[in-house]
Amino acid sequence: MVLIHDGLLSATIGVLAVILNARPANAIPPGAVALAEWFDRTLPRIFPNTTDGWQECFEDGTFHPNVVGSYNTLPINGLAELKGLGALISSLATEQLEYFVLEPTATVAFATDEAGHSGLITYTGKSSLKTKSGAVYADGLSSVSVTVEWNEALQKRAITVWKEVSTPPNFPDYPWDVLTAAEQHSEPSMGRAVGEL
């Protein structure tokens, strides 16, 4: 028979209770998981490609009307400019590409609330493409930093800041220069690009 001192037994039970009820220090909070999963589902709807389904997210509240950000060094001020850039990129892709692949490598989210309605997201990915002339370009890099805020009226998340940095596949021998094309189509603002394409 083993005798255990009452104080030692109480302390042991207390320590075990804490250990069994503790969440591991490296566990990702549920709100951060929810925000990251939302972005992973949303990103394919945002990225302009050769389909025509990308426009919906500019009309359904996914982007805040006053969204700000940048595409590499090109500033973006408002929904019309971001949609104009999307239209330009989609037009270039339609005219010149057989396919464009964006492969996610990481999505990290930091939620500012327990439900993951608002917060910050950083996404990284690799890109590759094949031109209509048959040239294949690989090992492009893409990243975006996003701020998301809960839209109470729509009861959904809205992107308020979109800062994208992309190095095209096979840079600098890319088949076109998106920034030069954007500058040619954007006098005086990217909002005009929608009507010009």
100: CATH: 3.10.450.50
User: Which pLDDT belongs to residue 62?
Assistant: 96
pLDDT for residue 177 is more than 70:
no
Poorest-confidence range of 34-38, 69-73, 172-176, 193-197?
193-197
Domain that holds residue 88: 29-196
Report the percentage of the chain scoring pLDDT > 70. 70
Distances (CA, A) of 178 to 2, 85, 91, 117, 189: 78, 9, 11, 33, 15
Residues 93-141: pLDDT tens digits?
888 888 888 888 999 999 999 999 999 999 999 988 888 888 888 888 9
Specify the number of domains making up the chain. Answer: 1
Model confidence at 3, pLDDT cuts 50, 70, 90, reads: low
Q: Is residue 153 part of a domain?
A: yes
Angle, to 10 degrees, between the axis of helix 178-185 and the axis of helix 79-96?
120
* pLDDT attached to residue 149: 98
- The whole-angstrom separation of Cα 15 and Cα 1 is 23
The verdict on residue 131 lying in a domain is: yes
Over residues 99-108, the pLDDT tens digits come to: 888 888 999 9
Q: Residue 21: inside a domain, yes or no?
A: no
Say if 6 falls within a structural domain: no
pLDDT for 21: 58
In this structure, how many other beta carbons lie within 10 angstroms of the beta carbon of residue 128? 16
What's the CA gap between 86 and 21, in Å, rounded?
48
- The reported pLDDT for the residue numbered 27 is 76
| Tens-digit pLDDT profile for residues 44-79 | 888 765 566 788 889 999 999 999 999 988 999 999
Asked, for residue 13, whether it belongs to a domain, the answer is: no
Amino acid at 95: E
* Mean pLDDT of all residues belonging to the chain: 80
Q: Is 16 domain-assigned?
A: no
133 domain-assigned: yes
* Of 51 and 22, the one with more pLDDT: 51
- Token pair in block for residue 85: 């850039």
Q: Is residue 36 part of a domain?
A: yes
